[in-house]
Amino acid sequence: GAVVSQHPSWVICKSGTSVKIECRSLDFQATTMFWYRQFPKQSLMLMATSNEGSKATYEQGVEKDKFLINHASLTLSTLTVTSAHPEDSSFYICSALVMNTEAFFGQGTRLTVV
């Protein structure tokens, strides 16, 4: 299947700082990528849909100014958690759409804000 790579796999940052997470489609072009968040022992929750060359579409309740999404190329989407706080600590996962049908997921990024 298609390969989606996330970087970093884990990150620890201080409260108040910003963290950028990258999501790359390695062997295909993805016009649409999705960002999810997963808290311990819970399911994945969709945060936003990232569209190449246009603004991201955020799910209800997700602050667009706090979770900045940039999809500047067909192979890269980034999620920046701005002014991170401990409650932002979570597992962040991206997925990329292949041929507008299949969704493949990255390995996830474990964010810990201290």
Partner 1 sequence: DAKTTQPTSMDCAEGRAANLPCNHSTISGNEYVYWYRQIHSQGPQYIIHGLKNNETNEMASLIITEDRKSSTLILPHATLRDTAVYYCIVRSLGETSGSRLTFGEGTQLTVNP
Output DSSP code: residue 53.
Answer: T
Identify whether the C-beta of residue 2 lies closer than 8 Å to the C-beta of residue 104: yes
Nearest distance, CB of residue 83 and partner 1, angstroms: 26
Strand 109-113 and strand 10-13: pairing?
parallel
Nearest distance, CB of residue 43 and partner 1, angstroms: 5
Instruction: Answer yes or no whether residue 27 interacts with partner 1 by CB under 8 A.
Output: no
Between 44 and 76, CB nearer to partner 1: 44
CB under 8 A: which stretch of 61-69, 70-78, 81-89, 92-100 binds partner 1? 92-100
Instruction: Answer yes or no whether residue 45 interacts with partner 1 by CB under 8 A.
Output: yes
Instruction: Answer yes or no whether residue 11 interacts with partner 1 by CB under 8 A.
Output: no
**C-alpha pair distances (Å), 32 with each of 10, 49, 112:** 24, 7, 27
CB under 8 A: which stretch of 14-22, 32-40, 66-74, 80-88 binds partner 1? 32-40
Distance between CA atoms of residues 57 and 5, nearest Å: 22
**C-alpha pair distances (Å), 79 with each of 20, 22, 33, 59, 65:** 6, 7, 11, 14, 11
* Interface residues toward partner 1, by CB under 8 A: 1, 4, 6, 32, 34, 36, 43-46, 49, 51, 91, 93, 95, 97, 100-108, 110
